[in-house]
């Protein structure tokens, strides 16, 4: 038995997937969701084998939703995005279906997953660079805190701190954990607004009020919030460049 979840904000789009799936006796549709928030909950609850996922959805998009799920199931994207955008994650999802897609194309995607499932362990975690590329035009990060989903615009971030496999995002209403690397954020954030001040810190340049010497060849950046962020020697020269000193 194959447990499938369909996530798309348009009923008719979900209907097509359901219709195409009706030929497969071994498939059970565990739930249909109309947005990413429901999607996250449904994935936790049902632990499906495969999800059909739309990219453009209200509040959080398909990629942001996947980021919130630990060890997400196999994904087949269904989207009206053009092919160029899709290339970025082509290699990392099972497949992608460009709307409107034919039954034939749909069968091919499903077949691909069925074959792959037999030969290798499931792994669909999108590598950082693929999501980063897809989200170049987004200006926010989505985190999960407790049972809630929080959307943080980049401009609200004070600074980001490395913490083992996670990063801590410090912003006006608290600290949020996100399982992404510092390199990922360095790539995502606008270089004129954010600077890697230290191996373990990325700071919002607009929040800095003062730089003061700390130890030999290192500094502390004082933020408007009162926080102090370490600045290394190389970080200091980067900051000077961005601030135009």
Partner 1 sequence: MGTYLHKLLYLGFWFLWSAIHAFVLSEWGYPAKEAWTDSLVSNIWLAIVCTLVIYCLRYYLPRKDRLTYLLLLSAGCVVVWSLAARYTIPLFGNETLTGNFSDTLYLRTAIAWLMIICVIMMNVLWYSQEEQQEQERRNNEAERIAKDAELFKLRQQLHPHFLFNSLNSISALVISDPAAARTMVHQLSDYLRNTLKKEEHKWVTLSEELEYLQLYLEIEKVRFGQRLTVVIDNAEDNATMKLPALLLQPVVENAIKFGLYDTTGDVSIRILAAVSDNMLTITVQNPFDPELSKPGGGTGFGLSSVQRRLHLLFGRSDLLVAKGNGNLFTTTIKVPQL
Determine, following the binding rule CB under 8 A, whether residue 136 of this chain makes contact with partner 1.
Answer: no
Determine, following the binding rule CB under 8 A, whether residue 145 of this chain makes contact with partner 1.
Answer: no
Please list every residue from 41 through 60 that binds partner 1, using CB under 8 A.
Answer: 56, 58-59
Determine, following the binding rule CB under 8 A, whether residue 197 of this chain makes contact with partner 1.
Answer: no
Shortest spacing between CB 68 and partner 1, in angstroms: 16
Determine, following the binding rule CB under 8 A, whether residue 12 of this chain makes contact with partner 1.
Answer: yes
Determine, following the binding rule CB under 8 A, whether residue 22 of this chain makes contact with partner 1.
Answer: no
Determine, following the binding rule CB under 8 A, whether residue 13 of this chain makes contact with partner 1.
Answer: yes
Closer residue to partner 1 in complex, CB, 37/166: 37
Question: How many residues contact partner 1, by CB under 8 A?
Answer: 23
DSSP the chain: -EEEEEE-S-HHHHHHHHHHHTT-TTEEEEEEESSHHHHHHHHHHH--SEEEEESS-SSS-HHHHHHTSSS--EEEEEE-S-HHHHHHHHTTSSEEEESS--HHHHHHHHHHHHHHHHHS----PPPHHHHHHHTTT--EEEEEETTEEEEEEGGGEEEEEEETTEEEEEETTEEEEE---HHHHHHHS-TTTEEEEETTEEEEGGGEEEEEE-STT-EEEEETTS-EEEE-HHHHHHHHHHHT-
Contacting partner 1 (CB under 8 A), which of 21, 28, 86, 98? 98
Shortest spacing between CB 20 and partner 1, in angstroms: 10
Interface ranges with partner 1 (CB under 8 A): 9-13, 15-16, 19, 34-35, 37, 56, 58-59, 80-82, 98-101, 151, 153
């Amino acid at each position: 038995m194959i447990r499938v979840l369909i996530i798309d904000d348009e009923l008719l789009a979900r209907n097509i997937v359901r219709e195409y799936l009706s030929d497969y006796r071994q498939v059970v549709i565990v739930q249909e969701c109309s947005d990413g928030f429901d999607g996250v909950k449904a994935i936790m609850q049902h632990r499906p084998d495969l999800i059909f996922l739309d990219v453009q959805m209200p509040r959080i998009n398909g990629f942001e939703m996947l980021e919130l799920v630990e060890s997400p199931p196999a994904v087949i994207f269904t989207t009206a995005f053009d092919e160029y955008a899709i290339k970025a994650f082509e290699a990392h999802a099972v497949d992608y279906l460009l709307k409107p897609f034919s039954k034939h194309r749909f069968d091919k995607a499903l077949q691909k997953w069925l074959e792959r499932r037999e030969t290798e362990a499931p792994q669909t975690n999108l590598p950082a660079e693929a999501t980063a590329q897809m989200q170049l035009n987004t200006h926010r990060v989505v985190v999960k805190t407790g049972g809630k989903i929080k959307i943080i615009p980049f401009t609200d971030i004070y600074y980001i701190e490395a913490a083992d496999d996670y990063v801590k995002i410090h912003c006006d209403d608290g600290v949020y954990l996100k399982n992404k690397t510092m390199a990922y954020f360095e790539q995502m954030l606008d270089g004129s607004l954010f600077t890697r001040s230290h191996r373990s810190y990325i700071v919002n340049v607009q929040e800095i009020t003062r730089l003061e010497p700390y130890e030999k060849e290192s500094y502390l950046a004082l933020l408007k919030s009162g926080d102090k962020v370490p600045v290394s020697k190389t970080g200091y020269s980067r900051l000077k460049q961005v601030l135009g000193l």
